[in-house]
Amino acid sequence: MRDALERRVIWGRWEKGERRGFKNNYLKTKIKIMTFNKNEGYKELVVWKNCCELRKKVYEIAKKFPKSEFRRVSQMNDAARSTKQNLQEGYKSSLPKYINYVRNISRPSLTELHGDIEDCHEDKLITEEEFQELDSLCKRTDYLFHRLLQGLIRKLKAK
């Protein structure tokens, strides 16, 4: 089995050769090999893993909310998804652009989500245990965003 960073996806098909002299030959056509090692490095970031975990937990907990809270559920799901997706999307950009993705999109989405979680706790939509778990995960993830930004800025200044 190949390492995740060295995975290759191969698209292709074999076509039976025409009977014009290629009797029983098979021709390989349309082969494309793509490597994912450069574009999926964000999956190694602990902050991205935390964002994935947070998104799953928010989706799971928000399913229990009453139908009258559909707007809040939608906003919470969008914020949780945005936190993860923008971190992932920015990773493929240049360093200054990635810093902006983290600073101006992903981290504020996390802050919005944390505020929604606090509101849900105040409104008694989530239990104390659920709140403590989500609150702790949000705070850890925010700290990791802070550390990621520090490292990215330090790397930018070193160039």
* Residue 151, domain extent: 41-158
Q: Over the chain (159 residues), what is each successive 10-residue block's mean pLDDT?
A: 36 40 41 45 92 97 94 96 92 90 93 96 96 97 95 90
Q: Would you say 84 and 51 are in contact if contact means Cβ atoms under 8 Å apart? A: yes
Domains held by the chain: number: 2
Look at residue 38 in the predicted model and tell me its pLDDT: 58
Q: Give the distance, in angstroms, between the CA of residue 114 and the centroid of all CA atoms in the same chain.
A: 18
Q: Do residues 73 and 145 both lie within one domain? A: yes
Rounded to 5 degrees, what angle do the CA atoms 57, 61, 63 make? 120
The pLDDT value given to residue 93: 87
Asked if residue 57 and residue 24 are part of one domain, the reply reads no
Q: What pLDDT score was predicted for residue 79?
A: 96
Could you tell me if 96 and 138 lie in one domain? yes
Instruction: Looking at the structure, tell me whether residues 98 and 54 fall in a common domain.
Output: yes
Phi first, then psi: give them for residue 17, nearest 5 degrees: -65, 150
- Identify the CATH number of the domain in which residue 129 sits: 1.20.1440.60
Residue 32: its pLDDT value, please?
A: 31
